[in-house]
Structure 1
Amino acid sequence: MTNKTINGLYAITDPALTPDERLLPAVEAALFGGARLLQYRDKTASADQRRRRASQLRALCHEYDALFIVNDDPALAAEVGADGVHIGQSDGGIATARALLGDNRIIGVTCHGDLRLARQAADAGADYLAMGRFFASRTKPQAPPADIASLKQACDEFPLPVVAIGGVNADNAPLLIQAGAASVAVIEALFGHSDPADIEAAARRISDLF
C-alpha cells in the first residue's frame, strides 16, 4: 500500500528545463536535497519516451523514499507502478483515474484558487488539492492567480493536504507554509539551475522550511 503522506517539497519536472540528458541527474539532485514528491510532467515526449522516463524516475524516487507522481496520465501511472497521478480539470476526472489506479494510489487535483473546485475534488475522493498560482510563474504564466486567503481557507476547510503551486521559491514559500500548505510544488526555482549542485542546494533551502 502506498504511503499517502503528502508533505514537504514537491518537485515538478519541465521538459524545457529538464531535457532528456539532464532529467535524471537533475531529479536526483532535488531528491538528495530533500524533495519528498516528484511529478513527471512532459506533454511533448513520445509515448515510448514517457514510459521509459517514468519507469526510470519511479525507481529513482523509491531509492530516496520519495513519492513518484505522473502528470495527467492515469494509464501511464498505472503501467509504471507510480505512486499516483496528478490531474487537471480537463483530464478525465477522479473516477476514471481511480478505476485505473485503485484505492491505494494517490490522486491529486488542480483546483486553481477556486474553493468550489476544491470541494468538488474533495467530495470525489481526491487525496490532495493543488491550489495556485500564488506568485508570478514563468513556466505557467497563463495560470489564473490565487490569493493566500483562499489557500488558508482551503487548509482550514478540508481534511486533505493542500499543495501550493505557482512561482514558489525559498523566499516566498514560508508565506504558503504559514497559511497551512502541507507541501509546496516547485519547478523553476529548482530546475532553472543547470548545475545539479545548485539544484540540490535550492531543494535543501526549501525542504528545511518544513
Structure 2
Amino acid sequence: MKQNIQGLYAITDPTLTPDEHLLPAAEAALFGGARLLQYRDKTAPPDLRRRRASQLRALCHEYEALFIVNDDPALAAEVNADGVHIGQSDGGIATARALLGDNRIIGVTCHGDLTLAREAAAAGADYLAMGRFFPSRTKPQAPPAEIATLKQACGEFHLPVVAIGGVNADNAPLLIQAGAASVAVIEALFGHSDPADIEAAARRISTLF
C-alpha cells in the first residue's frame, strides 16, 4: 500500500551533507517533521551509496517517513526503499516499475512543463515534481517554473505535485496555497551545519502543512 505523499520532503546533497554529516543531518530533518527524505548522491562509490541508503532507510522508518532514492531504481530495489525519484534521462517509468513493482513510489521531474507532467502521469508516475520556482544555489541552471503552472498542474492531475527549487519557510506558503502536496527542500535545511538548526528549519516548514 503506497503511503501519502505530503509535507516536507528533505533532499540530501553530497556537498551540504558530506559522509560524516549525512546521518545526523538527515535525522535532524526527520525529527523536525520531514515526511519524505531523498538520498541524492551521484558521486559516491557504489558500496558507500548502498550502505548509506540502507542506513537512511532504517532511519526514515524509525520516524515513519518515506525513503526515496534519487535516480537509481536498482539501488532503491536493493535496499527496499519506499521508492525512487527519476529525471527525464534516467531510464523511464516502465524500467523503474519493472524493478520496483507496483507498490513502490516513482516520482518524476517535470520541470515547469505540463506536457512532461501529462506524459509522466499517463505512464504511471506516483508524484510529479515541478520547479524550480525560486532561485536555487543547489541547481542554479535548472529552468524556472511559474507558480501559475503549479496551480494548473495541481488542478489537472489526480496526483501529488511536489514543488522544488529554492524553497524555504518564507516562500513555501505560496506553493502550498497553489496546491502543492509537498515541498522539496535542500539548502534551506542542509545549508545549516548544526543539527539543531536543521531541525528548527524543518519544523518551520513542516508546520506550514
Which amino acid is the alignment partner of residue 52 of structure 1? R
In the other structure, the counterpart of 1:109 is 108
In the other structure, the counterpart of 1:129 is 128
Q: Does 1:178 align with 2:142?
A: no
Alignment of 1:5-44 (within 5 A): 5-44=4-43
Count of residue correspondences: 209
Q: Does 1:146 align with 2:140?
A: no
Query: What are the ranges of 5 or more consecutive residues in structure 2 without an aligned counterpart?
Result: none
SS in 2 for 1:34: coil
Cα offset, 1:150, TM superposition: 0.3
Cα offset, 1:4, TM superposition: 2.5
Per-residue CA deviations over 1:78-133 (Å, capped at 9, x if unaligned) read 00000000000000000000000000000000000000000000000000000000
Which amino acid is the alignment partner of residue 67 of structure 1? L
SS in 2 for 1:164: strand
Which amino acid is the alignment partner of residue 73 of structure 1? D
Percent identity for Structure 1 against Structure 2: 90
SS in 2 for 1:193: coil
Superposed CA RMSD in Å reads: 0.4
Which amino acid is the alignment partner of residue 195 of structure 1? D
Q: Does 1:196 align with 2:191?
A: no
Which amino acid is the alignment partner of residue 136 of structure 1? P
In the other structure, the counterpart of 2:3 is 4
Q: TM-score, normalised by structure 2?
A: 1.00
- State the distance in 1 between where 2:168 and 2:105 align: 25
SS in 2 for 1:142: coil
Which amino acid is the alignment partner of residue 96 of structure 1? T
Per-residue CA deviations over 1:124-146 (Å, capped at 9, x if unaligned) read 00000000000000000010000
Query: What are the ranges of 5 or more consecutive residues in structure 1 without an aligned counterpart?
Result: none
- State the distance in 2 between where 1:5 and 1:126 align: 14
Per-residue CA deviations over 1:177-201 (Å, capped at 9, x if unaligned) read 0000000000000000000000000
- State the distance in 1 between where 2:5 and 2:123 align: 18
Q: Does 1:52 align with 2:51?
A: yes
SS in 1 for 2:129: strand
